[in-house]
Chain A
Amino acid sequence: MFETLIFVLDSTARLSTPLLLAALAGLYSERSGVFDIGLEGKMLGAAFAAGTAAALSGSAWIGLAAGIVISVALALVHGFACITNRGNQIVSGVAINFLAIGLTALLGQAWFGQGGRTPSVSGGGRFGELTLPLAESLRDVPVIGLIYYELVSGHNILVYVAFLAVPFSWWVLYRTRFGLRLRAVGENPGAVDTAGISVTWLRYRAVICTGILCGIAGTYLSIGQSASFIANMTAGKGFIALAALIFAKWKPVPVMFACLLFGFLDAVAIRLQGQQVPGIGEVPVQAIQALPYILTVVLLAGFIGKAVPPRAGGVAYVKERS
């Protein structure tokens, strides 16, 4: 029983990672007042770039760099449309999602001719599982050994990056000048502008942060968790991340717990499938798979407290009306 729980939690960590990275990515952008429903598209673009670069170069790190570059480029397109040209942020986000779905499949097919798939990578082309120091020697210690060996050790480096990004993001948002200004520009860009700080530049920096984190998330999907890019492989994770972000009321630490919760439900759904649960019988998997969405709807309906978005979110900043 204990062992099963550890395995489920281990699976939770792997399943939560892309959600966590994407949700933190969304956090930067949205706290600066730029809504971003294009997380999905950026992840997909990054996953494709990482898969392609890793397949061609044989290096996972080059894949990661390519993923981040493409994701940041897409983020800058979003920034250019919404910040510089004050376009509608939702429309721009949707456009990026469509662009990424179509372009990755098209280029993948044109370059590799495998139905939009990139060639599989192995060895150095992937982020392999890391065995943390002492994991092997502690393995046989009861309880702690199992937790350390199965749960803490044995993930690829991007999983650790994702979880370290949480305290880092907290520190950036709440303990640095950049973070203070970022939060301020999402609430009251007029005040920030009055203080002589460029709203445009600040928001651009925020979307670049979003791009970097989405790039890591996409890379994780294609060459961390899998070994190649597959058409539309994000399968809605960008939207679940968005739900997690709203669920967590745009705060980094709650974002982590929301993503862990969603990942945990997913892991439980996998484990419970086709099994008899005492007292209930066979649980319909659909019920558990729908839980993240149901929870978000419940939250949005106001049962778990109100989720208030950044006040200036979704509104382009106009310096002066002529």
Chain B
Amino acid sequence: MTPILKTVAILALAAGLAATPAAGEPVLVYSVGGKFDGSFNEAAFRGAERFAADTGEPYRDFEIARDADSLQALRGFAARGAEPVVAIGFNQAAAVAAAAKDYPQTNFSIIDMVVEAPNVRSVVFREHEGSYIAGLLAAMASKTGTIGFVGGMDIPIIRRFLCGYRQGAASVSPDIRVLFNMTGDTPAAFADPARGAELARGQIKRGADVIIQAAGGTGIGVLQAVADAGVLGIGTDSNQNGLHPGHILTSIRKRVDVAVYRNFADTQAGTWSAGLEVLGLAEGGMDWVIDDNNRALVTAQMEAAAGEAAARIADGTITVHDAVSDGECPL
């Protein structure tokens, strides 16, 4: 071995050792978009941070630059004995399936997608339950009787979210009109705020005075247009109430942090199990936010109605139609 090669080998080894988690250390692999995306990945990061703060246990995390990096990262961590390896986002599903097969002794977990393997826990959310509450609040807050929905890419889970929203609105009054638009049919539809703003303006011109965004980066434009026009918007995924205080009615949160926390905590307690975990309102996987930024917008009556609906969904007296598994939206 030449000296240069030797140096390289030693450096590589050193780098490898530096990143080696202690055996059993939990690992989090973020989706494309990065740790501080203000939404999905950041919520995962918060969950892991909370776990670290609560237990004093360290954890490791990793950001992938593109989907293709995922498999390598997952296998690397599994090879070094990480436990569990939690992957965020549906786009890592194929990588998780492959890595789980190669390392049957390691526990993997995927958030927001289902992978069937004996050593994988799949966590998915009942987003439609959250959007039901959003629809109910929107319908109660609307003065015109028309509310809006701007989705990102036209995919089944966004349609399901829409369906929940319409059901929530219909539960207040069957006469509520719900305008809805999808931004596009490519992933770019989640990153086009200008078009989102234009869709929202179109809905406002047609009378909508409460508009929910389910469109990632596009949604920033939706909420901007809503604030510009002086009507109300509803945020999703993370708490967006602070983006335009006084103009965001509420935010429907998908508690990715809860999912990550539970994974880490279950492993620590030795109760981790593989299989499907579905988080809805009852499990604290979906919720809606009231803070100082929207306190004045939500009346006591609205808060009570939303609370009651949430309780009834949780105990099963209200079933929100799931447009993905139960077929076409009935509305």
Residues of A within 8 A of B (CB): 7, 11, 14-15, 18, 109, 113-117, 120, 221, 225-228, 230-233, 235-236, 266-267, 270-271, 273-274, 285-286, 289
A235-B192, A274-B181 given; A117·B38 CB < 8 A: yes
Do residues A232 and B181 form an inter-chain contact, with CB atoms below 8 A?
no
**Distance of A12 from chain B, by nearest CB (Å):** 10
Closest A residue by C-beta to B203: A270
B192: A residues at CB distance < 8 A: 233, 235
In angstroms, Cα B185 to Cα A271, docked, is 16
B221: which of A226, A270, A285 is its contact (CB, 8 Å)? A226
**B-to-A contact residues, CB < 8 Å:** 33-34, 36-39, 41-42, 154, 179-182, 184-185, 188, 191-195, 197-199, 201-202, 205, 217, 220-221, 224, 243
Q: Please list the 6 inter-chain residue pairs (A to B) with the smallest Cβ-Cβ separation, ordered nearest first.
A: A115-B37, A226-B193, A235-B192, A225-B194, A113-B36, A230-B217
Give Cα A41 to B65, complex, Å: 20
Closest to A3 in B: B205
Closest beta carbon of chain A to B147's beta carbon, Å: 14
- 7 chain-A/chain-B pairs, Cβ below 8 angstroms: A221-B194, A226-B220, A226-B221, A230-B193, A235-B195, A273-B180, A274-B179
**Complex contact B198–A15 (CB within 8 A):** yes
Which B residues are in CB contact (< 8 Å) with A14? 198
B193 x A116 contact (CB < 8 A): no
Which chain A residues lie closer than 8 Å to B185 at the CB level? 285-286, 289
A231 to B188, CA, bound (A): 10
Expressed in whole angstroms, the Cα–Cα distance for A116 and B41 within the complex equals 13
CA distance A232 to B191 in the complex (A): 7
- Inter-chain CA distance A274–B179, complex, in Å, is 8
CA distance A228 to B198 in the complex (A): 15
Find out whether the CB atom of A7 lies under 8 angstroms from the CB atom of B191. Answer: no
Contact assessment for A228 and B220 in the assembled complex, using a CB-CB cutoff below 8 Å: yes
Which of A114, A231, A236, A270 makes the CB contact (< 8 A) with B199?
A270
Closest to A114 in B: B38
- Complex-state Cα separation, A161 to B193, whole angstroms: 22
CB distance from A158 to the nearest CB of B (A): 13
